[in-house]
Amino acid sequence: MLPEKGIALPGDLIVGGDSHTCTYGALGAFASGFGSTDVGCTMATGDVWLRVPETLRVIVKGSFGEFVGAKDLVLNVIMRIGDDGALYQALQWEGETIDAMSIEGRLTISNMAIEAGGKAGLMNPDEKMIAYCRERATRDFEPLVADDDAAYARTIEVDVTGMEPQVACPSLPSNTKPISHVAGQEVDQVYIGSCTNGRYEDLALAASFMAGREVSVRTIVVPGSQEVWLRANKDGLLQTFAEAGCVVSTPGCGACLGGYMGVLGKDERCLSTTNRNYVGRMGHVEAKVWLANPAVAAATAITGRITDPGDLGPAVREAS
């Protein structure tokens, strides 16, 4: 909601009570999750204590293949550096692949900085980002970009050309493998939504696979915000999900944090588009969760087992 409503803007310093506050780094803000006591004191005093973090620079090049995108990139990087690979560091994303990516895709990447231990997930403001923010902002903002001579703790390069869809296996985001290594695993549930992949383009991609098809396992769709829900409803995406046999919920976190709408029981297996698959995250400690992008989730919902979306043939309807 904060990006949609123009509340998070380039140049801002944002502290929030949710660990995925780092999402707003995709808009050029330094945004980080804090404990409730720290946030309360910040609201009361206007001051906050921070140690300026080192920066881990990620340069991304190449073009995504079909049904591969932002979620696959961030899972792949977390696999490379580990769940604490960016501990108390800012993850700075740049390169031709990031430049070509939609704002929604960028938000997905910054959202998961915390899954690598990151303090923030930064992206330099460009014309696309500034235009997005100007459409929504109700106050002035001042974009800040990295200095040309900035020092980095570490720089890694990633080429996404030829990358398969990535799947994080139980029970860590870093336990990521190409889908060819895990395809065929049966699941009891598919969960599409959350602050990671509950945006409009995510729902449109998933719906493109479900038009004219039926899901074979319990499938729950939770739009990320009321704005997303209304647009998806207007454009018929929610109708497509319902006709395919999905359960469509009101916006929110849902089962991502084991709250409601799909909380897992003992030994249940779920393929989810969320950001974490820790033990007990979505319910019972003996449940298992795999993480993947919305196309993989939709294909898996149709077959009942982890499925490469390319194996289903062309999508019925082009994703927006």
Q: Where are the beta strands (DSSP E) in 163-273?
A: 166-168, 176-178, 189-193, 218-222, 247-248, 269-272
Q: Where are the beta strands (DSSP E) in the chain?
A: 13-16, 30-33, 54-61, 89-94, 120-123, 154-159, 166-168, 176-178, 189-193, 218-222, 247-248, 269-272, 288-291
Q: Given this model, what pLDDT does residue 174 score?
A: 98
3-state secondary structure of 220: strand
Domain 13-159 matches domain 166-312 at the CATH topology level? yes
CA distance 120 to 131: 22
Q: Given this model, what pLDDT does residue 312 score?
A: 87
Looking at domain 166-312, does it have CATH number 3.40.190.10? no
Task: State how beta strands 30-33 and 54-61 pair.
Answer: unpaired
Q: Which two tokens stand for residue 285?
A: 């400690």
244-275, pLDDT tens digit by residue?
999 999 999 999 999 999 999 999 999 999 99
Q: Where are the beta strands (DSSP E) in 238-295?
A: 247-248, 269-272, 288-291
**Domain definitions of the chain by residue range:** 13-159, 166-312
Q: Given this model, what pLDDT does residue 313 score?
A: 65
Q: Given this model, what pLDDT does residue 317 score?
A: 42
Q: Where are the beta strands (DSSP E) in 113-230?
A: 120-123, 154-159, 166-168, 176-178, 189-193, 218-222
Per CATH, the number for 13-159 is 3.30.499.10
213-248, pLDDT tens digit by residue?
999 999 999 999 999 999 999 999 999 999 999 999
- Count other Cβ atoms within 10 Å, centred on residue 234: 9
Angle between helices 103-111 and 200-210 (to 10 degrees): 100
Give me the residues of the chain with pLDDT under 70, please. Answer: 313-320
Question: Structure pTM?
Answer: 0.95
